[in-house]
Structure 1
Amino acid sequence: MPLAGGCGLTSGSPLADGVRPGSVGQGLPLKGASLTVTSKSFSENIVLGQIMGLAFKAAGASVLDRTNIQGSIGAREAVRSGGADAMYEYTGTAWITYLGHDEPIPDPQRQWRAVRDADARNGLTWLAPAALDNTYALAMNRADARKYGTRTLSEVAALSRRAPGAVTLCVETEFAARDDGLQGMAKAYGMNVPASRVQKMDGGIIYTQVSGGRSCTFGEVFTTDGRIAAMHLVVMRDDKRFFPNYNAAPEVNSATLRKYPAIKDVLDPITARLDNDVARELNAEVDVAGKDPREVAEEWLVREGFITR
């Protein structure tokens, strides 16, 4: 996933924004609470962390910003240990990476329930999930899409067998090695892509390489990335539903939630509004327009009426 910086420090900084309740936070149900929010270090998760922190602030809490922690495990461990109180996490990441399962659950609600039930034993409570599903995909530029006529991963696999030289891939090193990445995808779809036609590179470079058609016909992308629309890329449909569901949901330290149960009422309506279209819009504001994640988060919350200034 793309990285982003400059929004919060590991040691934390107070959220000083002068925000007030809108449709959430009426009556200041978190007044007197001191809450710490965290996130991983890529744009979307930082924006989600800022959304959470601003919502808590509008509901009356004092908020410490510890977003932009390097590495997925660091942010999760901060919530689990009590070093932070909450973050937006992804169901597929928890199920496979943290909880150690090999096979994802195809139904997104069942996947979320399985993660919720398993993580309850780890002192973590998962609140209701968003429709936002930041999963893997392959994409190509419009010229190549017209040339080869592929729209699904099954069609990409057929092309790899019919015209092997036509399918070249740009992927991140991690994706190339993961069972839920390139190896598993190739096996599930019968895709013939030898190592000589796979180039490994940083995630941000993949988008420009695919857009220009220079190094590869297909590139690994994330379905909520704002650069897909900005660079006019065409996403291949995962018609066999191979890739796991990575629905975003608030992950809260269970002791914190018992102390401040109003956290659920503050976050539920916001999470319900988050889908892939919203995520692409917000991500593009950061990754394409270069805006600060906190500014993007606050503008969206105000525009949706969740908070006021």
Structure 2
Amino acid sequence: MARRTALPAAALAGALLVPLALGGCGLTSGSPMVDDVGPGSIGRGRPLKGADLTVTSKNFSENIILGQIMGLAFRAAGATVLDRTNIQGSFGAREAVKSGGADAMYEYTGTAWITYLGHDKPIPDPAAQWRAVAEADARNGITWLPPAALNNTYALALSRAKERKYRTKTLSDVARLSKRDPSAVTLCVESEFAARNDGLPGMAKAYGMTIPAARIRKMDGGIVYTQVSGGGSCTFGEVFTTDGRIKAMNLAVMEDDKHFFPNYNAAPEINSKAMKKYPAIKAVLDPITAKLTDDVARELNARVDVEGRDPHVVAKEWLVDEGFITEG
């Protein structure tokens, strides 16, 4: 599935969302992380003392937050860290890691497999997908560390009131509802999702959904959330599983029980030369990655996209609250 390689950083959804302020993040030349942070449960003994590491990210909220988490973890473990997060487009950040212009970032397994490595079909099992990406990218001078449960993929969602009314929990339930009561199912989706075989047409075929074209409404992704959350025109809407608006708008996400959509698990992607030089990177990042779930991502994304907070501050607060690092 050749999914969009970058999500909108803060697509506005009515009055709920406020402009995203990125502060000092994302300067092309980079800016040093000067935070006074130290080891908590990670980084004890400062195993990266003396290391000079550059972190990067793509230019959407979740990936910027993950880049800030990575940089702060390196800083707490003793490294001097250059912040080059918020690079325009996926390929720019990817090439920075590949070429050595940056040392590390959080990337998504599905994006690497399909967009960078050129495969047409995703691997349904998330662990197998990660292994295939890691093996293939080793030839490109990139080392992949173990993935997070965080899986930023497509889904359908609806309001809690409609979930109670229609009693749908899975996409198979949506398919049954579309046959039992066709008038109950109206979809709000982006135009791209509506046209792609790995989007709505493929999903409808895989699940046997019967949804007339007249009941499919195409719109900007940000508007989908508002149309689904309240008294809008759609029963179900296309969402991304880790979007902060899911929590903020109290939406119910339908389980992809046939595993149609590809896996986009976040995992640290490290320049192999940097990994060889500083093998302690793995011990620093593995416990953090293991804590990253869809629920955690939704919460952190909401703090940025809904509350308008700085990704760097959000990342630091989470690391401190979880006990990974200490401040001051």
Instruction: Please state which band the TM-score falls in when normalised by the shorter chain.
Output: over 0.9
- 2: CA distance between counterparts of 1:199 and 1:10? 39
1:8 match: secondary structure: coil
1:49 maps to which of 59, 67, 75: 67
1:67 maps to which of 52, 71, 85: 85
State whether structure 2 residue 124 is matched by structure 1 residue 120: no
Shift of 1:102: 2.1
Give 1:215's aligned residue.
233
State whether structure 2 residue 182 is matched by structure 1 residue 164: yes
2:121 match: secondary structure: coil
1:241 match: secondary structure: coil
Give 1:193's aligned residue.
211
- 1: CA distance between counterparts of 2:296 and 2:215? 34
Give 1:284's aligned residue.
302
State whether structure 2 residue 170 is matched by structure 1 residue 152: yes
Give CA deviations for 1:64-114 in whole Å, capped at 9, x if unaligned: 111112222221122112221111111112112222222222221111111
Q: TM-score scaled to structure 2, two decimals?
A: 0.88
Give 1:240's aligned residue.
258
- 1: CA distance between counterparts of 2:130 and 2:55? 21
- 1: CA distance between counterparts of 2:59 and 2:230? 27
Give CA deviations for 1:288-307 in whole Å, capped at 9, x if unaligned: 22211111110111111111
Structure 1 pair 75–259 and aligned structure 2 pair: CA distance change class (3 A): same
Give 2:42's aligned residue.
24
Give 2:271's aligned residue.
253
Structure 2, unmatched stretches of 5+, are 1-6, 11-19
Give 2:199's aligned residue.
181
1:284 match: secondary structure: helix
Give 2:282's aligned residue.
264
Give CA deviations for 1:1-36 in whole Å, capped at 9, x if unaligned: 341452322332211211112221222222222211
Give 2:155's aligned residue.
137
Structure 1 pair 57–217 and aligned structure 2 pair: CA distance change class (3 A): same
- 2: CA distance between counterparts of 1:162 and 1:248? 38
Structure 1 pair 179–13 and aligned structure 2 pair: CA distance change class (3 A): farther
Structure 1 pair 80–178 and aligned structure 2 pair: CA distance change class (3 A): farther
- 2: CA distance between counterparts of 1:286 and 1:195? 35
The farther-off stretch of 175-184 and 261-270 is: 175-184
Shift of 1:195: 4.0
Q: TM-score scaled to structure 1, two decimals?
A: 0.93
- 1: CA distance between counterparts of 2:117 and 2:233? 36
2:48 match: secondary structure: coil
CA contact (8 A) 1:125 1:254 kept: yes
Give 1:83's aligned residue.
101
Q: Which amino acid aligns with 1:129?
A: P
CA contact (8 A) 1:28 1:58 kept: yes
1:3 maps to which of 2, 6, 9: 9
CA contact (8 A) 2:9 2:305 kept: no
CA contact (8 A) 1:225 1:283 kept: yes
Structure 1 pair 25–232 and aligned structure 2 pair: CA distance change class (3 A): same
Q: Percent same amino acid among aligned pairs?
A: 78
CA contact (8 A) 1:24 1:266 kept: yes
Structure 1 pair 87–179 and aligned structure 2 pair: CA distance change class (3 A): farther
State whether structure 2 residue 317 is matched by structure 1 residue 299: yes
How many residues align structurally? 309
Q: Which amino acid aligns with 1:250?
A: P
CA contact (8 A) 1:141 1:213 kept: no
Structure 1 pair 182–85 and aligned structure 2 pair: CA distance change class (3 A): same
1:93 maps to which of 100, 111, 115: 111
1:224 maps to which of 233, 237, 242: 242
- 2: CA distance between counterparts of 1:91 and 1:272? 15
- 2: CA distance between counterparts of 1:197 and 1:79? 44
Shift of 1:194: 4.2
CA contact (8 A) 2:247 2:299 kept: no
Give CA deviations for 1:162-212 in whole Å, capped at 9, x if unaligned: 443432222233433443322221221122234443333332222112112
The farther-off stretch of 239-248 and 280-289 is: 280-289
Shift of 1:119: 0.8
Structure 1 pair 194–254 and aligned structure 2 pair: CA distance change class (3 A): farther
Q: Which amino acid aligns with 1:53?
A: G
1:228 match: secondary structure: helix
- 1: CA distance between counterparts of 2:60 and 2:190? 15
Give 1:109's aligned residue.
127
- 1: CA distance between counterparts of 2:142 and 2:219? 34
